[in-house]
Amino acid sequence: MKKILLAVALVAGTAAVHAEDTLKKIKDSGVITMGVRESSGLSYTIGDGKYVGYHIDVCHRVISDLEKVVGRKLETKYQPVTSANRIPLTVNGTVDLECGSTTNNVARQKDVAFAVTTYVEEVRIAVKANSGITSINQLNGKTIATTTGTTSVQTLRKHERATGIDFKEVFGKDHADSFLLLDSGRADAFVMDGSILAKNIATSKNPADFKIVGEVLSVEPIAIMMRKDDPAFKKAVDDSIKGMMKSGELAKIYDKWFLQPIPPTNTKIGLPLSAATKDAWANPNDKPMEDYAKK
């Protein structure tokens, strides 16, 4: 009987997290947990428990605005997440703000909520510079690396130019692992968000050995993720980001991470602001990627 009661209590506790008012939770505890990535283009580690990147800076600014909303200083805790566990850890209350590089799509919206889009991604192909590969239709019979839990290879398979192309997939546990598959020759190409490819190339030992090639496979809105059904928290996060869009702060953060030298190697990623990202800032929205495909 005790076991049954314990199981009921555990289930009830889980349900309570789902329905919880995040603003109340962070106000009561004085702690907010940020989901961070080890090797994404927008969120990565430089060692010693330090996480940096475009989305990390955006989230720190959001947290500063949340402190005004809840009326107290908040301690920020970092929770490393992967492509595979980022949604479960957000749903179960471990992570309050997931500040990685997550695509907002219809399937994920069933489980989580997304803030207004802060970056519009283009999925591309990275290859060795001397590979001779310049297009999707040259991937027949090749080995393609991607990261477990991401949407990129499904996107490649669905692309009209990939019709009749047969390739083998290999999976990295994170983006650094996937890039290593390309770097070591175990994969002929790495298919992923352009910012992730560019960041991993820029911070590699020999950036000139790699290039991003071929067609844009898909256009995907990237956003900060949070728990579903918590409108007050979402509004506070969205208001903060919209404020950054309006003031020009978001453009400054973008410039810092995409056009200036970045740690740890002091290399420039060199990705100018795209028209699609500019449009997302001018017209703030949380539309899923399926809406972008309709254009």
Question: Where in the chain are the domains?
Answer: 20-120+222-293, 121-219
Cα(116)–Cα(222) distance, rounded to whole angstroms?
A: 9
- Provide the pLDDT for residue 138: 94
* Ranges of residues in the chain whose predicted pLDDT is under 50: 1-18
- Provide the pLDDT for residue 10: 44
- Provide the pLDDT for residue 161: 78
Q: How many CB atoms lie within 10 A of CB 146?
A: 26
- Provide the pLDDT for residue 292: 87
Helix (H) or strand (E) holding 266: none
Q: How many CB atoms lie within 10 A of CB 32?
A: 22
pLDDT digits (tens, 9 = 90+) for 137-152: 899 999 999 999 888 8
Cα(256)–Cα(140) distance, rounded to whole angstroms?
A: 38
- Provide the pLDDT for residue 153: 79
- Provide the pLDDT for residue 152: 84
- Provide the pLDDT for residue 19: 53
- What CATH number does the domain located at 20-120+222-293 have? 3.40.190.10
- Provide the pLDDT for residue 252: 98
Fold of 121-219: D-Maltodextrin-Binding Protein; domain 2 (3.40.190)
Tokens 């496979």 sit on residue: 217
CA 249 to each of CA 181, 199, 252, 281, 283: distance values in angstroms, whole numbers, following the listed order: 37, 22, 5, 11, 16
- Provide the pLDDT for residue 162: 81
- Provide the pLDDT for residue 295: 53
Cα(87)–Cα(107) distance, rounded to whole angstroms?
A: 11
Cα(201)–Cα(123) distance, rounded to whole angstroms?
A: 15
pTM of the model: 0.83
Per CATH, 20-120+222-293 and 121-219 having the same topology is answered yes
- Provide the pLDDT for residue 44: 95
